[in-house]
Amino acid sequence: MNPDLLLALITGAALFGIGLYGVLSQTNLVMLMMGIELILAGALVNLVAFWRFLHADSYAGQMFVLIVMTVMALEMAVGFAVALARFRARGSVEMEEAQELKG
């Protein structure tokens, strides 16, 4: 077992766990987005580590990383648009106050 690979994967696991904690525990929409960013960052670390230590000759691994980075940027843009619309309509982005979204 390559210790560098294990180190990188544990870093990814820790970022995923911290992000999950953030998504479940925060009440503010912008803070929720920060949690999602951390979860995606955990995925990024894993993808780069897999490319480097398992298939350094295949650049499809780096392609995956570029796609995840695109997803991160889009998540941020769409999230901020929703936050802006919500702030205009209700004057707050607190998710505790968004009870009307419950099905």
Partner 1 sequence: MQTFFIGFFGLAAIVFAVAVFRTSSMMRSALALLFSQTALGALFLALQAEFLGVLQIMMMATEMSIMAIFMVMFMMDPGGLGGMDMSHQKRLSMIAGLGAVMLVSAIAAYTRWQELASLSQAAAADEQIRHLGRELLGRSMLVFETAGITILTAMIATTAVAVKVPAENASHES
Among residue numbers 1 through 40, which ones bind partner 1 (CB under 8 A)?
Answer: 1-22, 24-28, 30-31, 33-35, 37-38
Beta bridge partners, 94, equal: 28
Query: Which three-class secondary structure state does DSSP give residue 87?
Result: helix
49 in contact with partner 1 (CB under 8 A): yes
Beta bridge partners, 28, equal: 94
Residue pair 61/55 in contact (Cβ under 8 Å)? The answer is yes
77 in contact with partner 1 (CB under 8 A): yes
98 in contact with partner 1 (CB under 8 A): no
Out of 96, 99, 101, 103, which residue is the one contacting partner 1 (CB under 8 A)? 96
